[in-house]
Chain A
Amino acid sequence: MARVLVGVKRVIDYAVKIRVKPDKSGVVTDGIKHSMNPFDEIAVEEAVRMKEKKIVQEIIAVSCGPTQSQDTIRTALAMGVDRGIHVEISGPEYQILQPIHVSKILAKLAQDEKVDLVILGKQAIDDDNNQTAQMTAGILDWPSGTFCSKIDNNNGELTITREIDGGLEIVKMKTPAVLSADLRLNEPRYATLPNIMKAKKKPIKKITVKDLGVDVTPRIEILSVEDPPVRQAGAILPDVDTLIAKLKESGHV
């Protein structure tokens, strides 16, 4: 096995309480802490572990987005990725960039870079779409292993444990394939200071969607982004008896 491509997205940090813009066009992103999508960290970690087991030679991290996406690629490089590709998309085009566009970009890069495996996070925690890995696999006509909690790679023979609704499922497939990482796949490492310094010397190639020949025409129009309904404040009850009385009153027990 030669190469792995990992997709990394820069998103608002998972711990931030987001704010919807007053004009209902989206959420406030300026001046807000961003970091790598948590599922993508897991994807990167898995690729790095494969390299450490010497079943992978090279790992390439890709991010599509504005200039700041390079920070996310640097984080991946510091975790052990070999090189980065930044597909620059900014302004209004990025606002409406969707999984269909990203998967076309990833599919093109997977072919150009002759990778054997694409590992992505199962979903980005901002758009919550859970689509990109499946679509990338569809475009490439490669098998997909979604929501992986365990990946055994034996010379390109993949045995994958998937997280499904009722429990777990085991499937097998051959590379090339596209996998998506679930939370339970691994515990991502922290980048150490020496590795962060080393990552600064690793190459990041900058390209545009035009270079790749990918059409990023919007497929949807966002009509509005609004706050969810606020729940009415509840009451703190003094004891279990009062709780039971309240539940009986409202017909729950």
Chain B
Amino acid sequence: MFSTCVKTLRAASKFASLARYESTLVIAEHNNENILPLTCNTLTAAKKIGGDITILVAGTKCEAVVQNACKAKGVSKVFLADSDAFKGFTAESLTPLILKLCNEHKFTHILAGASAFGKALLPRVAAKLDVSPISDIIDIKASDTFVRTIYAGNAIQTLKSKDNVKVVSVRSTSFELLPLEGGDAKCENIPTGDTLNQVEYIKQELSKSDRPELTSAKVVISGGRGLKSGENFQLLYTLADKLNAAVGASRAAVDAGFVPNDMQIGQTGKIVAPNLYIAVGISGAIQHLAGMKDSKTIVAINKDPEAPIFQVADYGLVADLFKAVPELTEKL
């Protein structure tokens, strides 16, 4: 019994010593008004690493975002860097700021969500720090040991980083949302420095939609080549409205011009893991499965009984989608 006790103590002290020395900088992704949900998933990953957590909010007139960030429980500090230079949140404008913070505060970890923003930014930061970044992690085993997928999600790699600073992007669907409440972090304005504008931000053309955001939706309905045209996607939109679902697509549907590419789910598009995923007219190629196979329940509607999607579907319906989808909408 005594030995068990010693072991426990040892393990505990080892953990504590690990935790004490970690300090993580989380780069908040936001739109100058709100923190995006994936930042809250990233905060959960930061908590798992342990130690001190600081959030960086860099943007243009983004005080509201800071107020949100300060409410995140377990966060010790929020840095606000406000400048017109951060318009468009380009990697070129943000990298010098992050490097400066990293030098001053000796962060052991720099984290961001594995979105287009995080993917563009973090490797540039890592290159400047001369460390090897770690992309799209799905789990944290220890402060230097991470789990990620390779080969379109068909293999799971556990790796140990030997670098002194770990620059890590986090797959949002693999970590819970940390609610922005109960915290009381101090906000500190930091100088933005001279930013060299190597990249001129012109504009964004965002797809407008009233439906929930794809990567955080509880229910996702997606369509593939089987929809045959962009107009026919209306069938999915009608069903989606009934289920308060987001609508996604396979690469085939995007390439055929049925829907814009920001709806693409898969290895090279978005990764989703909703409670319910309904795949309509999607065969289920490796590259598509990479983006949705962690969904809790998968439903497939396809007229081809041999379609690979049925191998991952919990409920399969071998039927003509042009009959089955309207029937489903009507009966729900």
Contacts and interface: CB of A to CB of B under 8 A. Distances in A.
Interface of A: 12, 14-15, 17-18, 20, 27, 39, 98-100, 103, 122-123, 125-132, 134-139, 142-147, 149, 159, 162-173, 182-184, 218-228, 231-237, 239-241, 243-244, 246-247, 250, 252-253
B130 to A, nearest CB: 8
Interface string B108-145: 00000001110111111111101111111000000001
A231 B262 contact: no
Given A100-B132, A125-B267, A247-B276, 17 more contacts: A17-B154, A27-B155, A100-B133, A131-B126, A131-B133, A135-B127, A146-B116, A146-B120, A147-B116, A147-B119, A218-B162, A224-B158, A228-B155, A236-B316, A240-B319, A243-B328, A244-B331
A18 B268 contact: no
Contacts of A168: 204-206, 262
A108 to B, nearest CB: 13
Given A17-B154, A166-B262, A228-B153, A134 B331 contact: no
B268 A227 contact: no
A98 to B, nearest CB: 5
B201 interface: yes
B293 interface: yes
User: Nearest 4 pairs between A and B by C-beta?
Assistant: A138-B127, A134-B123, A219-B132, A143-B198
B205 A167 contact: yes
B152 interface: yes
Given A171-B202, A220-B159, A163 B331 contact: no
Contacts of A252: 219, 275-276, 297
A147 B155 contact: no
A130 B204 contact: no
A173 B116 contact: no
A253 B332 contact: yes
Interface footprint category on B: 35 or more
26 contacts: A99-B132, A126-B151, A128-B151, A134-B127, A135-B124, A138-B123, A144-B199, A147-B119, A163-B261, A165-B270, A167-B262, A171-B88, A221-B159, A222-B158, A223-B159, A225-B156, A225-B157, A228-B149, A228-B293, A235-B316, A236-B305, A237-B315, A237-B317, A240-B331, A243-B299, A247-B297
A141 to B, nearest CB: 8
B157 A236 contact: no
Nearest to A184: B261
A139 B251 CA distance: 33
Interface of B: 88, 90-92, 95, 115-117, 119-128, 130-136, 145, 148-163, 198-207, 215, 219, 243, 251, 254-255, 260-262, 267-268, 270, 275-276, 286-287, 293, 297-299, 305, 310-319, 324, 327-328, 331-332
A122 B122 CA distance: 14
Nearest to A241: B331
Contact of B123 (A99, A162, A225): A99
Given A220-B132, A221-B162, A244-B328, A169 B154 contact: no
B332 A134 contact: no
Contact of A234 (B115, B161, B316): B316
B331 A183 contact: no
Given A218-B162, A225-B155, A135 B332 contact: no
A171 B155 contact: no
Nearest to A246: B315
Contacts of B116: 146-147, 162-165
A206 B222 CA distance: 47
A127 B150 contact: yes
B282 to A, nearest CB: 15
A227 B91 contact: no
A226 B156 contact: yes
A223 B198 contact: no
Contacts of B95: 138
Contacts of A240: 317, 319, 324, 327-328, 331
B207 A166 contact: yes
A248 to B, nearest CB: 10
B204 to A, nearest CB: 5
B323 to A, nearest CB: 9
Contact of A128 (B122, B135, B293): B135
A184 B262 CA distance: 11
Contacts of A164: 116-117, 204, 262
